[in-house]
Amino acid sequence: MLTADQVSEFRTQGYLVVDDVLPSAVLDGVRAEYAGLMDDLYGDWQAEGRVPDGTGMDFWAKLGASYAAGCDWFQPMDISLPGDAIAPDCPMHFGPAIFDLVVHERLLDLIEVLIGPEITSNPIQHVRIKPPSTRLAADEVRAHITRTDWHQDRGVGHADADQTDMITAWVAITDATVENGCLQVVPGIDDGLLPHCPQVQTAIAPAHLDTARAVPLPVKAGGVVLFHPLVPHASLPNVSDGFRWSFDLRYNVTGQPTGRDHFPSFVARSRAAPETELRDWRGWRDAWYDARARLSTTPHIPIHRWASDAPFCA
């Protein structure tokens, strides 16, 4: 649970680092689930002759070899559909271990203190497994793999959710340090929603943010960084020799727009109507499968609302 001082800090500064939220059993379950997924992906790529023999290689070694070979492990491991055109066979991952993390009681307890007991798991969610900067391809621009540019989470959803009560929970699966690219934040939310531009990534428009006030936010595995949707944040580059792994999860008050209503959400907690809570991970998976089938046959819906020709993007 959060103290009154922690809640006050979050309301004024827009962020809060909370240690020791998720137990090791939950983290180990996620790691094992993703290791199995990596083994399957790597086995297929090895059969195609795209990667070297994986005998004796662990999860991290296979990730590195796959990335170096140009094999895309990000989308098959992501807990969302992509923001660009969606194919009917687009890979994504939904399993029991990551579902258990998303709906874990301790995590939802934190969210409940901040937005109340009617909690929806928002579909703006991603895995982030970031290799060392020195191993990144020269043309790598995906924010979920390279460093993330300055943005507000309110700015990466649709405008219909601009009044939605929403919290981002950034969950560390490995220790996040200044060296391996932890988050950084410019404290405060009083400036409201800043203009964003579709730059390399969707980012706050030039000259609209004083990044000299940035504060790094290291957190150990199992800890969580909570964000107000208006606090500006980014990640540092990973200058270590290892990967940095986290999940971006969002939660909003049930019944309010999610910011990507064409993607599926679900009730994670309801004190008023507990029977509406999703308790089976397969329901989460199937909702995304249904969305993929639907969206692959309809006109593309952009996930961001910003235009590159706006005056503030010049």
Residue 59, pLDDT score: 98
Domain range for 92:
4-313
The angle subtended at Cα 225 by Cα 220 and Cα 229, nearest 5°, is 165
Tracing tokens 């959060």 back to the chain, one arrives at: 2
* Contact (CB, 8 A) for 212 and 136: no
Number of domains in the chain: 1
What's the CATH code of the domain at 282?
A: 2.60.120.620
Q: If we measure between CA atoms, which residue out of 144, 128, 132 comes closest to residue 238? A: 132
From first to last of its 314 residues, what are the pLDDT tens digits of the chain? 799 999 999 999 999 999 999 999 999 999 999 999 999 999 999 999 999 999 999 999 999 999 999 999 999 999 999 999 999 999 999 999 999 999 999 999 999 999 999 999 999 999 999 999 999 998 998 888 999 999 999 999 999 999 999 999 999 999 999 999 999 999 999 999 999 998 878 899 988 999 999 999 999 999 999 999 999 999 999 999 999 999 999 999 999 999 999 999 999 999 999 999 999 999 999 999 999 999 999 999 998 888 888 788 86
* Contact (CB, 8 A) for 99 and 284: yes
- What is the Cα gyration radius of the chain? 19
Q: Rounded distance, CA 118 to CA 112, Å? A: 8
Task: Tell me how far CA of residue 231 lies from CA of 23, 282, 283, in angstroms.
Answer: 27, 33, 32
